[in-house]
Amino acid sequence: MIQQVLFIVVTIVAFGWAIKQFGRIRSNIKLGAPETISGDTGTRWKNVLLVAFGQQKMFAQWKPALLHFFIYSAFLLTQVELIEILIDGFTGQHRMFAPLLGGFYTFVISFIEILSLLALIATVVFILRRTIFKRDRFNKPEMKGWPSKDGLLILAGEVVLIAAIFTMNGTDILLQELDPEHFPDTGNLAVSSILGPALFGSLSQNTLVILERVGWWLHLLTVYAFLNYLPISKHLHIALAFPNAYFSRLRPRGEMENMPDIMNEVKSMMGLIEEEEPPEGEELPEFGAKDVFDLSWKTLLDAYSCTECGRCTAACPANLTGKKLSPRKVMMDIRDRLEVVSTTRASQSAEQKAAPYDDGKSLFDSITPEELHACTACQACVEACPVLINPLEPILAMRRYEVLTESSGPSDWIPMFNSIENSGAVWQVGDARDAWTKD
């Protein structure tokens, strides 16, 4: 009875705090500017199934993709055992499904154990890749400090979770013979039937009972800890990859978002439409994005969905040639800025929240013009992303703000822009652009 009460209290606290955390993430994403998402629903669901669920794009590099698939599939299927743990916690009925499902139960748990063993191997390989072999894309400047620790923490959590599963199942196998009344027969499980006797066969029944409960609680608490860790981790993509894939932009990759005001201005310069005088006293519009509020909510969802895998940066020709640009860093900086804004707004009054947010900082404090200017808009980062993130969108938005709103930019760009504005031609020439038509 004490265990059930403790379980209920822990479960309520864990889920309550997780709901609050995920609510904060949702509120942060809604800080973005409106964007209408349109396109074929069937294509969107196809993206969810193939890209988010099936991890289609990861298999461009099949070795790490296969190892990741072991961890991913084991994580999904272990939730079957978690459901049984939750039922046990609420009702006190141990292994309720075992007598009901018989051999099918043995098959399901055995399959989970095999996947868990493969996941353990994959986890060890990933730890070695980060610590011993030091893969280049995991050791870029933006990955120093917390991002590197974040990846290792979650891998360590995987090891703890798998150890808990095998401790729980291994001791349970032995207790089924010693106390069949309280420990229902699960059949011969693929891994625990071998591992249990080998590791725990010499222990007393009381010790086995304690270890079984340790494994049970460790499994549960690791899952709860993981659930509440997600909102502050790059592993939030486990939850957000699915909506991000669904809401991905379906327009052609090379098509950039048009700006009607600029388009009409260019048309009027070229004599294609009549130039309209702006209403007197109207403020000049701002173009592009200076801060997270100017980016669309979809771009903010992209930032929270980033896996920090570095495939975008590894594919970026600017980064490969030694330039400062890293598409991964751009998305990480947007997410970090959102977190700063969120923390500040949490301490503000309702009146302060209603006013435009201004702490004297912006995205330009972390994403430098040098990074923005290095982008060639080649779309390599967009093509490489395994969860359909588009790092080019915020880069273009910030460049537009710099050039169109601040009238700034690289020194070799400005004459070209001035020439287009004044004469409608890229090059500064004395004659009007259409002079040749009058000869």
Asked whether residue 267 carries a pLDDT value surpassing 80, the answer given is no
Q: Which of 31, 54, 52, 83 is nearest to 291 (CA)?
A: 31
Among 36-50, 226-240, 261-275, 299-313, the least confident range: 261-275
Distance CA 367, CA 38 (A): 30
Q: What is the pLDDT of residue 335?
A: 96
- Output phi, psi for 296, to 5 deg: -70, 160
Q: Which pLDDT band, with edges at 50, 70 and 90, does 98 fall under?
A: confident
Residue range 314-373, pLDDT digits in tens: 999 999 999 999 999 999 999 999 999 999 888 888 888 888 888 889 999 999 999 999
Looking at residue 290, the DSSP 8-state letter turns out to be S
Q: What is the pLDDT of residue 313?
A: 95
What is the distance in angstroms between the CA of the first residue and the CA of the last residue of the chain?
Answer: 98
Radius of gyration of the chain (CA): 28
Half-sphere exposure of 168 (CA within 13 A, CB side): 23
Asked whether residue 383 carries a pLDDT value surpassing 90, the answer given is yes
Better pLDDT: 403 or 258:
403
Q: What is the pLDDT of residue 439?
A: 66
| Spatial contact of 164 and 222, defined as CB atoms under 8 Å apart | yes
Asked whether residue 196 carries a pLDDT value surpassing 70, the answer given is yes
| Spatial contact of 381 and 327, defined as CB atoms under 8 Å apart | yes
Supply 196's token pair: 């249990």
Query: Which H helix or E strand runs over 272?
Result: none
Distance CA 286, CA 261 (A): 10
From the centroid of its chain, how far is CA 415?
40
| Spatial contact of 138 and 313, defined as CB atoms under 8 Å apart | no
Torsion, Cα of 112, 115, 116, 121 (10° steps): 170
| Spatial contact of 33 and 296, defined as CB atoms under 8 Å apart | yes
Q: Which pLDDT band, with edges at 50, 70 and 90, does 280 fall under?
A: low
Distance CA 338, CA 97 (A): 44
Q: What is the pLDDT of residue 351?
A: 84
Strands (E), 294-354: none
Q: Which position has the token pair 């495939």?
A: 311
Distance CA 95, CA 327 (A): 48
Q: What is the pLDDT of residue 411?
A: 80
Asked whether residue 310 carries a pLDDT value surpassing 60, the answer given is yes
Region 17-27 average pLDDT: 94
Exposed / middle / buried, residue 439 (Cβ in 10 Å: 0-12, 13-18, 19+):
exposed
Asked whether residue 374 carries a pLDDT value surpassing 90, the answer given is yes
Name the most confidently modeled range: 31-45, 272-286, 404-418: 31-45
Q: Which of 307, 328, 318 is nearest to 126 (CA)?
A: 307
Q: Which position has the token pair 């996947």?
A: 115
Task: Determine the residue type at 384.
Answer: A
Asked whether residue 391 carries a pLDDT value surpassing 60, the answer given is yes
| Spatial contact of 170 and 199, defined as CB atoms under 8 Å apart | yes
